[in-house]
Structure 1
Amino acid sequence: MSCPLSNVAAVDRSATVPWQRDALVIGLVGMAHATSHFTHLLLAPLFPVFMREFGLSFSQVGLLTSLFFLISGVGQALSGFLVDRVGARPVLFASIGLFMASALSAALARGYGGLLLAAVLAGLGNAPFHPVDFSILNQRVSASRLGYAFSAHGLTGNLGWALAPVFLVGIAAIDDWRLAYWAAIAVYAVVLAVLWWQRDHLHTVAVPRPPGRSRADDLAFLRLPVVWGCFGFFLLSSMTLAVVQTYATSILQAMHGIPLATAAVTVTAYMLAGAVGMLVGGFVAARTRYVDRVVAWTLAAGAALMALAATGWLGGVGSMVLLAVTGFAIGIGGPSRDLLIKRAAPPGATGRVYGAVYSGLDTGVALAPLVFGVWMDHGWYAATLAGGAATLLLAVAAALAVGRRTGEQAART
C-alpha cells in the first residue's frame, strides 16, 4: 500500500529504471554518508594527543564533541529548509568543503582555538547531511528499492564510524598526528571529486514557494504531531547509542575487570553488528507494509538484550556479546525507521521533515552525558546500561505512535 503523504511519486518506476542506475545513486549517497559519520569522530580519537600536546583537560576536549553536536543539531533542523529551496546537490558539495576546512584547521592547530574552529566547521558541514541524503534517495531511487537504499545508507554510516578511529589513530601512530588530518583532507578531496564527476545522479528538484504562500506556511509541518513523534523517537534511541559509544568500555571494565583494549572492541563490534543488521533490515523493509511494527520489535529486542547485559549474569564476555547483538537488533529496524519517517513527510517538505526529526539524534547524544554521566560518576554502572535499555523502550512507544498516526492520515486521504 503506497502512502499518499510521501512526496515521492506513488508510481513504482522500478520496472522502467535499471537497477544499476538506482545502485549508483545509492552508492554515491552511501559514500557521502560514510564521510559524514567519519567526521563525527574526526577529533575524538586523538583527544589523548591533544591533552598531552596542548595541556588540555577532559572537560576541554569534551566540549569539542558537545560543540560539534550542538551546531549540527541546530543546523540540521534549519538546513532542511535550504535543501528544499535550492536542492540537495549544492548543499552536499558545500558540506564536503566544510569537512576539508575542518580537517585543515585541526592539522594547523597551535592550541585549543584551532580545535574549537575545527569542531565548529565540522558541525556546520555535518548539519545538512540527513536532509540532503534522504532528499536525493527519495527523488532518485525507485519506490520499491527505497528499503534497500535506506539499508545501505545506515550501513555506510556505521562503517564511517568504524573507520575513523582506525584511520586517524593508525596514521598518528606511524607518524605525526597532523599527518592524519592531511590524509583526511585527501580523503575528503577524493570523495568530493567522485561526487562532482557523478553529479548528474545527485540532482534533486527544488521546491519553490507557491504564490500566496508565506514563510510562516513553511513551518506548517511543525504542527503535525507525527513529526514530533519522529523527533522524540530519534532523541530517545540516540541516548541509547550514546550510552554504548561513550560508556560501554568503562562499564565493562568496572563491572567485569575487562582490560581497556578488550572492552573497547565492544563499541566497534556494536557498530559493525549494526551495519550487518541494517543490511538485513533492507530486505525486511522492502517486504513489509508494517514498518512501524518492525521498528518496535527490533528495538524491543535490543532493549531486552541490553537489560540482560546490565544484570551481569553472563559475565564479561557474555555482556560484550549481548551488546554486540543489541547493535544487530537495532540495525535491522533502521531501514524501516527511515521509511516510517518518509511516510510522515508532507509533499514538498522532505528536507524540512528529515532535518527536524534527525536533529533529535544530535539532541539525544548531547543530552545523554548530562543524565548518564552523573550516574557514572556515582558508580551506577549497571543502572546506566539499564537506563539505555529504558530509553530504547520509550523509543518503541514513539515508533508505534508514529505508525498509528501515519496510518490514520493515509486512511483519511
Structure 2
Amino acid sequence: MTDAPAPAPPLPDRDWRIIGLIGTGHFLSHFYMLCLAPLFPIWREEFGVSYAVLGLSVALMAAITGLLQTPVGFLVDRHGARPFLVGGTLLMALSIAAMALAPNYWVVLGLAITSGIGNSVIHPADYAILGSSIGERRMGRAFAMHTFTGNLGFAAAPLAIGLMTQTLGLGWRPALLAAGLAGVPVVAAIVLQSRILRDQARPKKHAAPLGREVLLSRTMLMFFAFFLLSSMAGVGVQSFLIAMLDKLWATPLAVASLTLTGYVMGATGGVLIGGWYADRYASHFTFVTALTALSITLLLAIGLLPLPDAALPVVALVAGGALGASRTPRDVMVKHAAPPGQMGKVFGFISSGLPLGSAITPVPFGLMLDHGVPWLVMPTVAALLVASLFCAGTARGGALRAARVPAPSPLPAE
C-alpha cells in the first residue's frame, strides 16, 4: 500500500527561528572542525613542526568531541540543554579566536582541545532541543536542516580561511580571530531567543530505563553500529575516491575531482529530500534500505566498471544524493526509539560513532591503495553499507518490540 503524500503548510515563524538558531550553531561546529587544516602549510613554516604534529590539532579536536558527547548527553538530560548549548558554543568560538594570539604551536594544540570540549555539546544539546521544540510532523525537516547546515560548515571552512589568508591577505591570525569572534553574535542570539527553545520533559522516576541501561541496550548499540559503519563507508569514499579512480582507470585529476564534488553535493542536498520524506511517510526503514541499496549499486559501478569520464560525476551525484537522503529518516528512527527525556545521552552516544568511524577508516583504505588492490575500495564500502543496514534493521526491530506496538502506520496528512 502506498502512502498518499499531502502538502504541508509552511513552517511557522517560531519553528524557522528554532531551526535557524540551532542550525547556525551546528554550522559553526563543523566550520571550526575544518578551519585549521588550510593553515597547516603556514604553521609548518612559522612554528617549525611537521605535518604529523600539525595533524594532532584536528585529530585531538575530533577525538575530544567524540569521547565527551556521551557524558555531556547525560548532563543535558539532567540539567537541560540550553545552558550547555550556550556555554559549549561560546567555548568553541573563543578557543578558535584565542589561537590568533598563540605564541607557539603547543598553545594552539591546547586550544584545539578546549574547542573540542565545547564542540562535544552540540549534538546532544541540538537534538534534545529540536526533539522537544519542533512539532512531530516537522521533525524530519528540522533534522534535515540540522545536517545540511553542518555540511555547509564543512564546505565553507576551507573557502573562508583561504579567502581571508590568500585573497584578502589578512594573515592567519586575523583570519582565525575573525572566524572565532563570528561565534559570539550567534551565542548572543541563542541567549536572546532562548525562551523559544524548549528542554525535553523529564520522565518520572523509574518511568523508563536510565543511564547505561539505555545505551547498552541492543537497540541503541545497533543504532551506534549503524552510525559507525555508515561513517566508515562515507569517509572511505570521500577520502579515497580520487586516488582510487587514478589507480584503477587513470582518470584525469580534473574529472576525478569533479566526481568527488558531485558525490559531496549529492550527499549534502540529499538530506533535504530525506527530511521531506520523513515528515510525510512512516516507512522510514524501507526508504533507508532502498536508497542505500541504490547508492551501493552505483558506487560499485564506479569502482568496478570503466565508466566514461562524462558519466562519473553524474553517477557519483546520484549515489551521494541517495545516501544523503537516507540519513534524515535514520535520525528520526533514533528519535522515536529514545526513551522520554533521554535524547541527550542517546544522540550523544550514537552520534559519537560518526567521528569514530572517520578515525578508523583512513588507514585500512590507504593500505589497499599502497598494496596495489584499489579495486577493493568500493566493494569494502559496499560491505560496510550492507552491514549498516543489518544493524539498522535490528535496531528498528528492537525498538518496535520494546514499545510493544506494530510497525508504524502512515502519518495522517497535515
**TM range, normalised to the smaller chain?**
0.7 to 0.9
Do residues 66 (structure 1) and 59 (structure 2) align? Answer: yes
**Displacement of 1:263 after TM fit?**
4.2
* Partner deviation per Cα, 1:305-357 (whole Å, 9 max, x = no partner): 22211125114453343333222111111210111101221122111111111
Specify which of 275, 283, 299 is matched with residue 282 of structure 1. 275
**Displacement of 1:145 after TM fit?**
0.9
Contact 1:87 1:206 in 2 (8 A): no
**Displacement of 1:388 after TM fit?**
2.0
- 1:273 aligns with 266
Equivalences for 1:4-403 in 2 at 5 Å? 19-174=12-167, 175=169, 176-205=171-200, 207=202, 210=205, 217-257=210-250, 263-403=256-396
- Paired AA for residue 186 in structure 1: L
Deviates more, 1:234-243 or 1:169-178: 169-178
Q: Distance in 2 between matches of 1:51 and 1:255?
A: 33
Deviates more, 1:196-205 or 1:159-168: 196-205
Q: Distance in 2 between matches of 1:52 and 1:255?
A: 35
**Displacement of 1:248 after TM fit?**
2.8
Q: Distance in 1 between matches of 2:187 and 2:19?
A: 16
**Displacement of 1:247 after TM fit?**
2.5
* Partner deviation per Cα, 1:96-154 (whole Å, 9 max, x = no partner): 11222331243233433133123212221221211111111111011111111111111
- Paired AA for residue 43 in structure 2: F
- Paired AA for residue 188 in structure 1: G
CA distance 1:56–1:327, change in 2 (3 Å): farther
CA distance 1:386–1:51, change in 2 (3 Å): farther
Q: Distance in 1 between matches of 2:250 and 2:108?
A: 34
**Displacement of 1:375 after TM fit?**
2.3
CA distance 1:378–1:64, change in 2 (3 Å): farther
- Superposition RMSD on alpha carbons, in Å? 2.6
The runs of 5 or more residues in structure 1 that have no matched partner are 1-13
Contact 1:161 1:271 in 2 (8 A): no
Q: Secondary structure at the match of 2:49?
A: coil
- 1:411 aligns with 404
**Displacement of 1:259 after TM fit?**
5.8
Contact 2:259 2:312 in 1 (8 A): no
Contact 2:225 2:353 in 1 (8 A): yes
CA distance 1:378–1:320, change in 2 (3 Å): farther
* Partner deviation per Cα, 1:17-69 (whole Å, 9 max, x = no partner): 97221222122111111111112212122223323333333322333332222
Q: Distance in 2 between matches of 1:114 and 1:236?
A: 34
**Displacement of 1:254 after TM fit?**
3.9
Q: Distance in 1 between matches of 2:164 and 2:249?
A: 32
- 1:6 aligns with none
Q: Distance in 2 between matches of 1:262 and 1:197?
A: 47
CA distance 1:386–1:319, change in 2 (3 Å): farther
**Displacement of 1:360 after TM fit?**
0.9
CA distance 1:46–1:71, change in 2 (3 Å): same
Contact 1:340 1:403 in 2 (8 A): yes
CA distance 1:160–1:118, change in 2 (3 Å): same
CA distance 1:317–1:46, change in 2 (3 Å): farther
**Displacement of 1:217 after TM fit?**
4.5
Q: Distance in 1 between matches of 2:47 and 2:367?
A: 27
CA distance 1:105–1:278, change in 2 (3 Å): same
- Paired AA for residue 401 in structure 1: T
Deviates more, 1:357-366 or 1:197-206: 197-206
CA distance 1:119–1:307, change in 2 (3 Å): farther
TM score, norm. by length of structure 2: 0.88
Q: Sequence identity, in percent?
A: 35
Q: Distance in 2 between matches of 1:263 and 1:116?
A: 34
CA distance 1:247–1:112, change in 2 (3 Å): farther
TM score, norm. by length of structure 1: 0.88
Contact 1:151 1:281 in 2 (8 A): yes
CA distance 1:325–1:178, change in 2 (3 Å): farther
The runs of 5 or more residues in structure 2 that have no matched partner are 1-7, 407-414
Deviates more, 1:193-202 or 1:222-231: 193-202
CA distance 1:81–1:370, change in 2 (3 Å): same
Q: Secondary structure at the match of 2:88?
A: helix
Q: Distance in 2 between matches of 1:70 and 1:228?
A: 20
